[in-house]
Amino acid sequence: MSSVSPQRVAVLGSSFAGMTAALEVRKHLDERHEVVVLDPRDHFTFIPSLIWMPFGARKADDITFPLAPLYDKKGIEFVNEAAARVDVDGHTVSTSTGRSIDYDKLLVATGPRLAFEKIPGLGPEGGFTQSVCNLEHAERAQEAWDRFLENPGPVVVGTAQGGSCFGASYEFLFNVHHRIRKAGLEKVAPVTFISSEPFLGHFGLGGVGDSAKRVEGFLERLGIEGIPNSSIKEVRDGEIELDGGRVLPFAFSMIVPPFAGVDAIRESEGLANPVGFVPIDDRFRHPDQPDIYAAGVATAIAPPESTEVPAGVPKTGQMSETMAKVAAQNIAADLTGGKHRDLPIAELSAICVLDAGNNGIIFKADNVLSHGIYANGEEPSARVMAGPQAHWAKLAFERYFLSSRKRGMTAF
């Protein structure tokens, strides 16, 4: 290892995948090698808890922490700027202020661009629906929820065509129903769920165990109408029009938007597919750019099956961290001559906790993008559990994750 010349690893993004990758790369390399992280935000946000913010159950300080002190303690340079362009041939990243950063290895973990503009009237900025996909949007959703309580009416929750974060929309659905019931508004605020999934409980994965049965049963018990295989044509003030002509009135609506890759990645020649996501191989390395890796939502992952309405593959925080750890190990192996690790996308596992306010559902699945029987004759493993333990599991994990990451720990 001592004969290896100093190298610089640049990580774009500092959410689940980016932070994990940076900490793991730093752990695998000695101090002669540089690790630099770029992110326009100066803080980390525990995104899974954003579903609670609109109801006042969380404040920003509860689920965020500053990035600079953590990275400084770990010997990682933090650049509080967005990447503006990647020159894959020149091995440089241009930042939003015009700074140029050279790299020997690059890991893209920028997350998604929220493509509200793909559907007229969608989103909190110039549109009529709310979002809980980032901190600022969740804070706006709280203001909208307060207005709703003053003048309640129908509620519509869901995931638009091209979206992939189905878990968040289901969790928000269950929590909003819980809050409506606590406020005694069931008779004036019926709840409808719309989704691009071909069936409820599909999750962009073709289903997990008996998830369809569990989710349908959950909605039936709660009196929520679920409309799968739906595509939004237009959102107007107080109503959502679906393809086919059905119009859903609403006094409050939260819709997860279509996802796309961030502009800086999409517009960098030779880096991404037309939508802006980075193609990867089994080492989470770009197939045509051996010095570039990607993890998390920024990766291009094909759906396991074709669906009538576009439904993206979810890349949960746990899945993103798994990708980041594999990518980090392989970057370190590139630089030090160590052992590489292959992990086919089809073999990723997923753990998802859907909180419902005081109840919920826990899904755990191995090989989430594999369907049918494996070559060895075994079936994919999937477990589904419903009950109040799901709510307590999420609360416990939130506390564990935030406390461990503040100290720079990445092991579960």
List domains and CATH numbers for the chain. 8-114+260-343 (3.50.50.100), 119-258 (3.50.50.60)
pLDDT digits 0-9 by tens, 309-338: 988 888 888 889 999 999 999 999 999 999
Is 165 assigned a catalytic role? yes
pLDDT at site 382: 66
Helix, strand, coil distribution of the chain in percent, nearest 5: 30, 25, 45
Distances (CA, A) of 95 to 104, 106, 369: 17, 14, 35
* 133 is a catalytic site residue: no
> 70 CB contacts (<8 Å, ≥6 apart)?
405, 406, 408
Residue among 93, 240, 352, 384 flagged as catalytic: 352
Calculate mean pLDDT across residues 10-28.
97
pLDDT, residue 39, reads 98
- What residues have CB less than 8 Å from 361, skipping those under 6 apart? 211, 214, 215, 218, 353, 354, 384, 385, 386, 390
Q: Which helix (H) or strand (E) holds 113?
A: strand 112-114
pLDDT, position 410: 84
Better-predicted residue by pLDDT, 311 or 210: 311
Amino acid 374: pLDDT:
40
Q: For residues 298-322, b (16+ Cβ closer than 10 Å) or e, as one string?
A: bbbbeebeebebbbbbbbbbbbbbb
Q: What is the pLDDT of residue 376?
A: 44
Q: What is the pLDDT of residues 285-297, one digit of tens each?
A: 999 999 999 999 9
Query: Active-site residue among 165, 262, 365, 369?
Result: 165
In sequence order, what are the beta bridge partners of 411? none
DSSP letter at 311? -
Q: Label residue 196 left, alpha or beta by phi (over 0 means left) and psi (-120 to 50 means alpha).
A: alpha
At residue 211's C-alpha, the angle toward residues 47 and 184, to 5°, is 65
pLDDT > 70? residue 305: yes
Question: Among 33-42, 53-62, 153-162, 375-384, which is the least confidently predicted range?
Answer: 375-384
Residue 122: band (very low, low, confident or very high) from pLDDT cuts 50, 70, 90: very high
What is the structure's pLDDT at 348? 85
Q: Identify the pLDDT of residue 372.
A: 43
Please, where are the H alpha helices in 183-237? Answer: 211-222
pLDDT given at position 1 = 42
